[in-house]
Structure 1
Amino acid sequence: MSGRLPSIYADPALYDLVHAEGTDDEVWLLAYLAELHGCGIKTALEPACGTGRYLAGLLRRSWTVEGYDSAVGMLAFARKRLAGWGKRVKLSRGEMTKYRPQRRFGLIFNVLSTFRHLMTEREALAHLKLMAGALEPGGIFILGLDLSSYGQDEPDEEVWECRQGGRRAKHVIMSIPAEPGTRRERIINFVTTPKGKKDAVLESSYDLRSYSAAELAALIAKSPLRIEAVYGYDGRDAVLDGPERALWLVLKLVSGL
């Protein structure tokens, strides 16, 4: 991941709170796609695993899991969350461009546009090659990201509120579209949460590398992977160059590799 981590990473519990919604549905979809397209081996790897919420969901579905992240605080939170699962879980510190697992997996997944934190083609290809090398024969790599449509995208703002236990927060996320020459989409976050008698506002901004459908297809063509299937975030069938731009790609090893 290029550059500094977003400041919300300094508060793993808050990060977990604002990203919790929809996790159970996404875990269900991960397991379903693995059953539909995979090799039947229930071992999973999550790069940039954060607070471990996806891994926890897979563990409850009888998977054996491994995750890695570059943020020490995130890993500490994930270790506490997953401590009761014993040898069925392994967590390590690592970066997407360098971490080389010591085993193979039936499922590897990198969703929520986390892949787009890799800001150069060299970094992106390095990650794809490392993950391809960690797949079981017939295993799948699920890559989830939002695509760009240059010249058509407009600035966007999303607002949602969340509550868990005794804590609540309001999350505002704004995006400034990328230009094809720069391939950098600007993301601006404001997370507001009560602190004493006042509200604390945590602000962070960072760039994500943009991909049109053609740019993503060209990148994957340079890797040891091929596109097996494409789905929308809701699990419905989609196509890479269709109108749906929030996609999960199911990738498999190129035949003969």
Structure 2
Amino acid sequence: MADWYDHPQYFDMVFRDETDDEVVFFEEVFERFGEGEVKRLLEPGCGSGRLVVAMAAKGYDVTGLDLSQPMLSYLRGRMKRRKLTGTVVQGDMTDMSFPKAFDAAFCTFNTFRHLINEGAAEKHLRSVAANVRAGGLYILGFHLIPMDADPDCTERWKASSGGTKVSVTLRVIDFDRKRRQEMLRVSIKAVKRSGAVERIRSEFPLRLYTPTQAKRLLEKVADVWQIRGIYDFDYDLDSPRKIDNDLTDAVFVLGRKPS
């Protein structure tokens, strides 16, 4: 068994269908909530870089940061093949420093939940704030856990590209509400055009957030971030949400306060 973070081509395939909707949403957010021109973008925890590539293709000056060297090597290769410009940096999303401030940042689809304690989560939010200009934006998306959540959750989906077919199973193998942590197991079966089969399994923890816990965290950084809007994974600006027990797929649009 191999780690799927060492196989970014499969990681990229799994989430590719979300990309177009996210890009449209980002640009709508920039138009509605942005103060001044939005050109320079940051994605902390960029992974395989599907959004870095998509936003660079739209003409933005994008920087992607991640800890995984295989992910970053894959991203650099994609950027080079598509003749796109941008910056790819290996680094920690809780401790970032760039020479020039960004106009906006984004981190969607649960990457934020890899920060498995409150201190790391707050440090990340403050690190992003330190690298985004006053009036700039941060689009932060992650799942929230309702009080009646089923701890025995299993999801399955399929993807294909270039003659390779991928089957993915995501299973919660441990759920600890008191410690605010769940352990996920992702199993991937990739069948290549040649008929060769590759199997990958990864297990990793994610931090749990109820709507109330997410609200409390954002209140801790209210000196640097203001909530401009709350949405869900439908990415519909005409359907704003509130932080309540019905919100499970949260997308927070945060605005950088003046220093």
**TM-score (ref. length: structure 2):** 0.90
Map residues 164-179 of structure 1 onto 2, 5 A cutoff.
164-175=161-172, 178-179=175-176
Shift of 1:67: 0.8
- Confirm whether residue 76 of structure 1 aligns to residue 48 of structure 2: no
RMSD: 1.8
Match of 2:217 in 1: 219
Cα offsets for 1:70-93 (capped at 9, x unmatched): 11111111111112123xx11111
- Confirm whether residue 207 of structure 1 aligns to residue 210 of structure 2: no
Give the direction of change, closer, same or farther, for the CA distance of 1:242–1:33 in structure 2 (3 Å limit). Answer: farther
8 Å CA contact retained: 2:19, 2:50: yes
Shift of 1:176: 5.2
8 Å CA contact retained: 2:146, 2:246: no
Shift of 1:129: 0.4
In 1, Cα distance between the equivalents of 2:3 and 2:214? 28
Match of 1:60 in 2: 57
Larger mean CA deviation between 112-121 and 145-154 belongs to 145-154
8 Å CA contact retained: 1:153, 1:177: no
In 2, Cα distance between the equivalents of 1:101 and 1:183? 32
| SS at structure 2 position matched to 1:208 | strand
8 Å CA contact retained: 1:150, 1:179: no
Structure 2 alignment gaps of length 5 or more: none
Q: How many residue pairs are counted as aligned between the two chains?
A: 249
Give the direction of change, closer, same or farther, for the CA distance of 1:100–1:200 in structure 2 (3 Å limit). Answer: same
Shift of 1:126: 0.9
Match of 2:90 in 1: 93
In 2, Cα distance between the equivalents of 1:253 and 1:12? 32
Cα offsets for 1:118-163 (capped at 9, x unmatched): 1111111111001011112211101100001234334222111111
Specify which of 135, 140, 144 is matched with residue 143 of structure 1.
140
**TM-score (ref. length: structure 1):** 0.90
Residue identity in the other structure for 2:64: G
8 Å CA contact retained: 2:146, 2:245: no
Cα offsets for 1:225-248 (capped at 9, x unmatched): 121110111123211214131011
| SS at structure 1 position matched to 2:201 | strand
In 1, Cα distance between the equivalents of 2:230 and 2:16? 24
Q: Percent identity?
A: 27
Match of 2:229 in 1: 229
Shift of 1:52: 1.5
Specify which of 190, 193, 214 is matched with residue 193 of structure 1.
190
Match of 1:252 in 2: 255
- Confirm whether residue 126 of structure 1 aligns to residue 126 of structure 2: no
- Confirm whether residue 115 of structure 1 aligns to residue 118 of structure 2: no
In 1, Cα distance between the equivalents of 2:78 and 2:110? 23
Match of 1:182 in 2: 179
